[in-house]
Homo-oligomer: A and B are copies of this chain.
Amino acid sequence: MTSAKPKSGPRDERGVLAARILDVARESFAEHGKAGTTVRAVARSADVDPALVYHYYGSKDALLEACTTPPPEWIATIAEAWGGPTDQLGRRLVAVTLENWRNDEFAPIMRAVLLIAAHDDGIREKLRLIVQTSLMGPAAIGLNDQERLIRAGLVSSQLIGLAFVRYLWKIEPIASMSDAEVVAAIAPTLQRYIDGPVHFPSGSPK
């Protein structure tokens, strides 16, 4: 985690302080929403001057933006999962999701995005983009863009529901299952959404 006190010179200090502000802000946005979060309170919790928060991030909106932007390393794990054989894609997508929830850097960001999306249109739009782009996957999935988006949307509906039940709300016994058990239970669902018979009664997707 990045909440350690700065130890060395001013060059490191900027990164450490900026990260500490982000950690605190993310927690506040997630718990109290955008309206319930003030730069002043974030600065107080991070033990810095409010002016420093403005200096680093510019505004509350920009701070929220920074708090909910997926790190490139996270996007890379998903892109990597989409690579490789399609017939094991369901398994890889659940597995990478569970791994990312175990990652101390990624999990707080995913948590913040999901919780803030409840109340903030901007974050909801960002979530929509994350779902639509990061889950678009290779062109091999689905016959056309529309079908690919439906399949990706179904995949994300299961992964998002799993995230709420298992990680955010901690509903038992789902919260205590081993990762291997969850993968075994969920992977076939995703695989069917990816390349299985997801029939559309109207013949083809609207």
Contacts and interface: CB of A to CB of B under 8 A. Distances in A.
A112 to B, nearest CB: 11
27 contacts: A31-B119, A32-B35, A33-B36, A33-B119, A35-B36, A115-B118, A118-B168, A132-B172, A150-B185, A153-B171, A153-B172, A154-B174, A156-B161, A156-B165, A156-B171, A157-B166, A158-B161, A159-B161, A161-B161, A173-B206, A177-B205, A178-B201, A180-B201, A180-B202, A184-B200, A184-B201, A185-B193
Interface stretch (A40-48, A51-59, A68-76, A123-131): A123-131
Nearest to A119: B31
A160 interface: yes
B189 A192 contact: yes
A118 B116 CA distance: 9
Interface string A164-206: 1110111111101110110011101100110000111110011
A114 B131 CA distance: 20
Interface residues of A, number: 57
Interface of A: 31-33, 35-36, 114-115, 117-119, 124, 127-128, 131-132, 146, 149-150, 153-154, 156-166, 168-174, 176-178, 180-181, 184-186, 188-189, 192-193, 198-202, 205-206
Contacts of A115: 118-119
- Residue among A124, A146, A201 with max Cβ neighbours from chain B (10 Å): A201
Judged by DSSP, the binding face of A is: helix
- Residue among A119, A132, A170, A176 with max Cβ neighbours from chain B (10 Å): A119
